[in-house]
Amino acid sequence: MTTADTPNRLNELSAQEWLKFTKTWFVHNPPPRKKEEKLHPAKYPENMIAEFIKFFTKPGAVVFDPFVGTGSTLVACHHTNRNGIGIELQQKYARIAKERLQLLESQHKLTSEGSNLISKQLVLQGNSAEIESEWKKYSLPELDLIITSPPYGPMLNKKGLATKEREEERLDTKYSDDPQDLGNTADYGEFIGKLTDIFIKMKPKIKIGGHIVVILQNYMDRGEYKTLAWDVGKELGQHFQFRGERLWLQDNKTLYPYGYKYSFVPNVHHHYCLIFKNGMGKQPEE
């Protein structure tokens, strides 16, 4: 059997689409955010997430986001005919996510009458730190893919020029003041421990061969550069097979004069999309 005859077990992409996705960096500049989406301090773009979903799953698969925010992952699932489940701690963001999906579903009914492939999206208001009880409560299915951009802990709580701009627009500069909110964990080491523990608890719910994509940034905190993506990657790599990374680059973000005339302080305009697989060891084709 030739490579051309081998069935595609992972997705429905063409060979050209597959190869393009395996490039380890890409430039994506998100479109302007809508008013309700701007309320969330760290929304990520649906069309970019859709590319990951289309690579790591087939239509009808189950995708999960433990920090769903205003619903970007589930919107991407809707557009790619995948079933999405998302958990959000804060009621205001969960409400926005539900409203966005309800609008999409109402439009879908008008344009896809007679279609036998209708995806379902579920927004749950709950705490991902208690993921085991949440799973039992709702009798949720096994997962093909987890994809998320977690709260960045101390990163959102530090003051800066970008934060000042959001304050002037009366927009949220952090997720909440809720002590249960992972983003309010002040200690860096404790934050990494809590975050990785959530994924470890979810491991029995991920299909063997299923994937996890975690989108993170390194950042400067009071003169110390925090290697958040690398540290989380190292911890998760002890429990899942680390498959590599894709760097999401943005070249249209505002440049701020951090450290001007006295010290190098980077404008961090790239994210690490860390890719893990549930199933240790090398695969037959490798």
HEC string of 32-48? CCCHHHHCCCCCCCHHH
Handedness of CA 81, 271, 13, 200 (dihedral sign): negative
Q: At what angle do helices 72-80 and 46-56 cross, to 10 degrees?
A: 60
Question: How far apart are alpha carbons 35 and 160 in whole angstroms?
Answer: 22
* 285 located within any domain: no
pLDDT at 208 (0 to 100): 96
pLDDT at 44 (0 to 100): 78
* 169 located within any domain: yes
Q: What count of other Cβ atoms lies within 10 Å of the Cβ of residue 115? A: 10
- Cβ distance 70 to 99 under 8 Å? no
* 202 located within any domain: yes
* 283 located within any domain: no
Q: What is the pLDDT along the chain (286 residues), one digit of tens a residue?
A: 566 678 999 999 999 999 999 999 999 988 765 655 445 455 679 999 999 999 999 999 999 999 999 999 999 999 999 999 999 998 999 999 999 999 988 876 545 444 445 679 999 999 998 888 888 888 889 999 999 999 876 555 555 545 455 344 444 444 557 667 887 888 899 999 999 999 999 999 999 999 999 999 999 888 899 999 999 999 999 999 999 999 999 998 899 999 999 999 999 999 999 999 998 545 545 5
Q: Which two tokens stand for residue 257?
A: 């004069």
* 282 located within any domain: no
* 188 located within any domain: yes
> What length does the chain have?
286
pLDDT at 37 (0 to 100): 47
Q: Residue 154's domain spans which residues?
A: 3-277
CA angle 176, 177, 181 (to 5 degrees): 70
**What is the side-by-side order of every strand in the sheet holding 83-88?**
25-27, 241-249, 270-277, 206-216, 143-148, 62-65, 83-88, 121-125
Q: What CATH number should be reported for the domain holding residue 91?
A: 3.40.50.150
* 79 located within any domain: yes
Structural domains counted in the chain: 1
* 263 located within any domain: yes
Q: Which two tokens stand for residue 227?
A: 């290697």
